[in-house]
Structure 1
Amino acid sequence: MPLLMAPTAPVSPSWCVVSAEAAGGVVETDALEVVLPGGDGVGPLTATLGPGEHVLVLGPSGSGKTTLLRTLAGAVPQHVRARVTGTVRIAGTDPVTAGVIGVCEHVGTVAQDPVSGVCLPLVADEVALPLENRAVPRDLIGPAVDAALATAGAAHLRERASGELSGGELQRVALAAATVTAPRLLLLDEPTSMLDAPGVAAVRDAVARVGDDVAVVLVEHRLDEWAAGGTAALPARTVALGRSGRVLADGPTARVLAEHGRELLRQGCWLPLDAELEALLGLGGGLGSPHVRGALLALTASEGPGDVGATAERGPVVLGARGLTIRAGGRPVLTGVDLDLHAGELVAVVGANGAGKSTLLAALAGLERPAAGTVDGPRPGLVFQDPEHQLVGATVREEIAFGLPHGSSRVADALARFDLADWAEHSPYALSGGQKRRLSLAAMLVHDRPVLLADEPGYGLDRAATAVAMGALREAADGGLAVALTSHDLRAVAACADSVVVLADGGVAAVLTPEELLRDPVALASAGMVVPPLLAFLVEHDVPVRPALRLLEELAHDVAVAA
């Protein structure tokens, strides 16, 4: 049913008129290929997406997933330069020639960067704008806005200023604005990348209710969170892309993952847990299979706790905050925060969307002036949540080299380490979202700052890039730096962090080890986190979590190397 109607009234709004031309396939492509100026791209793709059909587009960072969605939305080539061959139709309209305005009647989009999809200062006005552009009667707009916000889990944000929202809150608002007109095609580019567990559930449920005639194209890395019930809970169809942008497979999701899961894992993709375990262990059935459970326990027991994932003893306090009170938009976000960052320690800061995680890191970095309290210590390096906020170089190489002595060998090392060597002479703005994230980390890690802060370092990254990014931060802490990061990814936190700071109710609710957090339902609820099935299994069987996760990453690495 359309989002703007009550759940008991699955009737399309009177202003949504489907033309006879658009009554067939919502998306139709024939040998569609999009090549960006730097040579990267996606396709060729020949496919049809019918009304009500949901498809998952799966592939590693840089494989062209976002480029494909931008093409379907009409942004390519009019707003994003590219060479387009083949044909594409959206509800009978060619988006390549018609552009965004020509297809906006049929398409709703939630972009990878939620900031780019929100343009008005007030949330209610942002969601109302698509309806106003369609000249919807004024008395219908308010109820439609309320329904869309409620379905996206954002009703409490209605009267808020959009500039005060966290990234996760903006994602919910962007979803409400994209669906309020009941589009024929909904394009979702990593819609849960910044969301806490309740936010992921709200978005997933909202997408499930968009209507029987709405086609959905979903790009998503967080497949376990999206598919709470395993592979069967994913969209029924998957288009899998290789690193080159070529189509590896297009078919039923279960079959694509069974036949190509190992190759997708080799290329660095996240897979739902049952497909991941089959690719790593060669056994199907997921954790529901006694054979899989037995193999997983035997694998972890063979190593024992040992010193896998062990960290050096933490050193002295390098950066300390006392009594921090931070306000935004006239309201307190955090009050009375005390926090110490020690040399050799990696601290994860977790909390629900809007809890103040990014705000705290900005205050520690000296970018947010606290209303009260002090921060003592050297100026930290900060990796922003949005990588574009820190870009200063004309090329990827210049971005990493900025501030380093001319000819520093660290540049080449960082390019290789973060898989950016092939894009060294490209503009940073020409990179994919995941590549920009890797670049922002590389550019900050090459400097010898005693304190490093990273805001959602796994945002937008595939499995391989996540392992590199989190491994680099772990290595920095092991080398004596004080490191703090924010994350909604409990698996990443459990694999890398020494301690966890839980923000809730405007302050620090708890300070725990990752293992303690996994066993504390109150702290988990405060943080807006749900223990994923793999971690729940390890905890249930008293398996040390970090060593077990390290072993699984080593298996994934072996798969890639063997291929």
Structure 2
Amino acid sequence: MLVAEELEVVLPGGDGVGPLTANVAPGEHVLVLGPSGCGKTTLLRTLAGAVPQHVRARVTGSVLVAGTDPVTAGVAAVSEHVGTVAQDPVSGVCLPLVADEVALPLENRAVPPERIGPAVDGALAAAGAAHLRERASGELSGGELQRVALAAATVTDPPLLLLDEPTSMLDAPGVASVRDAVARVGPRVAVVLVEHRLDEWAGEAGSAGLPARTIALARSGRVLADGPTAAVLATHGRELLRQGCWLPLDAELEALLGLPGGLASDAVRGALRALGREAEPDRVARTVGEVVLRARGLAVAAGGRTVLAGVDLDLRAGELVAVVGANGAGKSTLLAALAGLEPPVAGRLDGPRPGLVFQDPEHQLVAATVREEVGFGLAAGEARVTDLLTRFDLLDWADRSPYALSGGQKRRLSLAAMLAHDRPALLADEPGYGLDRTATTTAMRALRAAADGGLTVALTSHDLRAVAAWADRVVVLADGGVAADLTPEQLVRDPAALRAAGMSVPPLVAFLAEHDLPVRGTLAVLESLASDVAVAA
């Protein structure tokens, strides 16, 4: 299905991926694993025919997809064989109605009209998106768009599926739907998966729940390993962790503790209990400052319909608040209203206008270079700009166009640019979206430090591990309003609130809660161990 010989793709700025020599057989599922910026998306774009015809790059070596050369034939020719879910689902959804979007690939193939409706219904149901059939695509949340994009990619039963972080914006039911949909594709359909959320994808099976084969890329874009997933993780797990990758929990704990077996191992469980006993106790309550942003009876509309109503919310100085909820619950809409971008249809909002980091970082890029983007609107402060570029690992790209960065790098850039302005309140919509472990930790530490420095910080997230590790308070949105307002420690022990939030408790967090170990403190110790791995290497 896929044959690559010394395939190397070099972008104009010098970054790239390869050389890669690999064959993917019909029916084979392959995980492409590597840190942000290593070229994973570039590789998938090349296989889909977008490079170099639509994305400039120098391509050497050779590659065939179902016998077609995507480099010379381009997207239109390759689309006969390939279904693609892009990293940014907005870029892959083009028609105003969901049903038409999913029907389009079938119409392009001249499928008889009487077969199109049932095929659309089946693809939407498999992607957990049947309830979105009659919705306008412009009204959908990022997670809902991801489900629609998957349905459109699979509706024609293509022989090759290219999935670029298909769960990055999804709630727990959405991740399960996508994982199950991919597992049910035809026995001769090959799948190439790029994914950071390995624990959620793997589910209870751990590493065994991942694709059987892994191609691991180093930060340079070179191939670090290609082989059975279990062997790649066992041999290269510590190096992948050092490079900044998320790993499934069993591989992560082996890399950090030197003990195999994951949570099923008595030795691992004992080591975690020992770490927990030494960790700082969780802070059930913190001393916070005055209310900076206050909403009373707030109602917000999007796409002509009221998404949230009757929202009462206080955001205080020195506090990091996580806003959680299922896909479509109104998280992004609430942040847009708090930032003054969505005028409320009812209620009152008091406080200074906060800074907002968008879910899609490209929507707020305004400057010609990365350095100018961070310093945009600042009268002075070159040292501060350089400091932020260094903290967010962007200094080497300072003179490049922001649009030349990878998705994860753009996310880091948008955070750095907003932090440069020191607004009294900062809102971040899915700050971990598209980021590897190192970048996620950098972003969350920066937001935590901003709150500890007296700023008001609110973020949205589907990642309960990150929420438990960094947030002081959690606001759950459900059924058009605020369903719960509680601490992370209370949330992980509240099944009703978890169901309302569309979240499941990660196995590690569940273990810590079950044994009454400090969740935040123990996770902080593990992050410190991960930092030690990077420093030692």
TM-score w.r.t. the length of structure 1 is 0.94
Partners of 1:324 and 1:334 within 8 A in 2: yes
| Residue 542 of structure 1 pairs with residue 516 of structure 2 | yes
| Residue 272 of structure 1 pairs with residue 248 of structure 2 | yes
CA distance in 1, matches of 2:14, 2:220: 10
Q: Specify the alignment match of 1:510 in structure 2.
A: 484
After TM superposition, the structure 1 stretch with the greater mean CA deviation from structure 2, 296-305 or 420-429, is: 296-305
CA distance in 2, matches of 1:375, 1:339: 9
* CA deviation string 1:103-154 (max 9, x = no partner): 0000000000010000000000000000000111111100100000000000
Q: Specify the alignment match of 2:232 in structure 1.
A: 256
CA distance in 2, matches of 1:106, 1:280: 41
AA in 1 matched with 2:387: D
| Residue 533 of structure 1 pairs with residue 507 of structure 2 | yes
CA distance in 2, matches of 1:298, 1:538: 11
SS at match of 1:92: coil
Q: Specify the alignment match of 2:64 in structure 1.
A: 89
**Paired residues for 1:449-464 under 5 Å:** 449-464=423-438
TM-score w.r.t. the length of structure 2 is 0.99
Q: Specify the alignment match of 1:290 in structure 2.
A: 266
CA distance in 1, matches of 2:277, 2:336: 42
> Which one of 408, 425, 436 corresponds to residue 434 of structure 1?
408
Q: Specify the alignment match of 2:78 in structure 1.
A: 103
| Residue 319 of structure 1 pairs with residue 293 of structure 2 | yes
- The structure-2 alpha-carbon separation of the partners of 1:77 and 1:504, relative to structure 1 and needing over 3 Å to count, comes to same
CA distance in 2, matches of 1:241, 1:104: 26
SS at match of 2:156: coil
Deviation of the 1:267 alpha carbon:
0.6
Deviation of the 1:309 alpha carbon:
7.7
CA distance in 2, matches of 1:82, 1:400: 26
| Residue 204 of structure 1 pairs with residue 179 of structure 2 | yes
Deviation of the 1:312 alpha carbon:
5.7
> Which one of 119, 124, 131 corresponds to residue 99 of structure 2?
124
CA distance in 2, matches of 1:536, 1:299: 15
Q: Specify the alignment match of 2:395 in structure 1.
A: 421
> Which one of 428, 436, 445 corresponds to residue 471 of structure 1?
445
| Residue 523 of structure 1 pairs with residue 497 of structure 2 | yes
Q: Specify the alignment match of 1:241 in structure 2.
A: 217
CA distance in 2, matches of 1:398, 1:423: 11
Deviation of the 1:311 alpha carbon:
8.6
| Residue 393 of structure 1 pairs with residue 330 of structure 2 | no
CA distance in 2, matches of 1:453, 1:213: 45
- The structure-2 alpha-carbon separation of the partners of 1:516 and 1:309, relative to structure 1 and needing over 3 Å to count, comes to closer
SS at match of 2:83: strand
* CA deviation string 1:404-463 (max 9, x = no partner): 124531110001000000100110001000000000000000112000000000000000
CA distance in 2, matches of 1:409, 1:169: 41
| Residue 152 of structure 1 pairs with residue 127 of structure 2 | yes
Q: Specify the alignment match of 1:33 in structure 2.
A: 8
CA distance in 2, matches of 1:518, 1:300: 17
Report how many residues are paired: 536
- The structure-2 alpha-carbon separation of the partners of 1:153 and 1:310, relative to structure 1 and needing over 3 Å to count, comes to closer
Partners of 1:249 and 1:256 within 8 A in 2: yes
In structure 1, stretches of 5+ residues that fail to align are 1-25
CA distance in 1, matches of 2:422, 2:18: 42
> Which one of 20, 27, 34 corresponds to residue 59 of structure 1?
34
AA in 2 matched with 1:383: V
Q: Specify the alignment match of 1:140 in structure 2.
A: 115
- The structure-2 alpha-carbon separation of the partners of 1:301 and 1:209, relative to structure 1 and needing over 3 Å to count, comes to same
In structure 2, stretches of 5+ residues that fail to align are none
Partners of 2:286 and 2:472 within 8 A in 1: no
**Paired residues for 1:145-224 under 5 Å:** 145-224=120-199
| Residue 71 of structure 1 pairs with residue 33 of structure 2 | no
Deviation of the 1:539 alpha carbon:
0.3
Question: Structure 1: which 4+ aligned runs deviate by more than 6 Å?
Answer: 308-311
AA in 1 matched with 2:233: L
AA in 2 matched with 1:401: G
Partners of 2:44 and 2:164 within 8 A in 1: yes
After TM superposition, the structure 1 stretch with the greater mean CA deviation from structure 2, 158-167 or 402-411, is: 402-411
CA distance in 2, matches of 1:309, 1:440: 30
Percentage of matched positions with identical amino acids: 81
Q: Specify the alignment match of 1:47 in structure 2.
A: 22
SS at match of 1:230: helix
* CA deviation string 1:366-409 (max 9, x = no partner): 00011101110000000000000000010000000101124531
CA distance in 2, matches of 1:553, 1:295: 15
AA in 1 matched with 2:410: K
* CA deviation string 1:160-202 (max 9, x = no partner): 0000000000000000000000001100000000000000000
- The structure-2 alpha-carbon separation of the partners of 1:310 and 1:480, relative to structure 1 and needing over 3 Å to count, comes to farther
Deviation of the 1:332 alpha carbon:
1.5
CA distance in 2, matches of 1:158, 1:230: 33
AA in 2 matched with 1:213: R
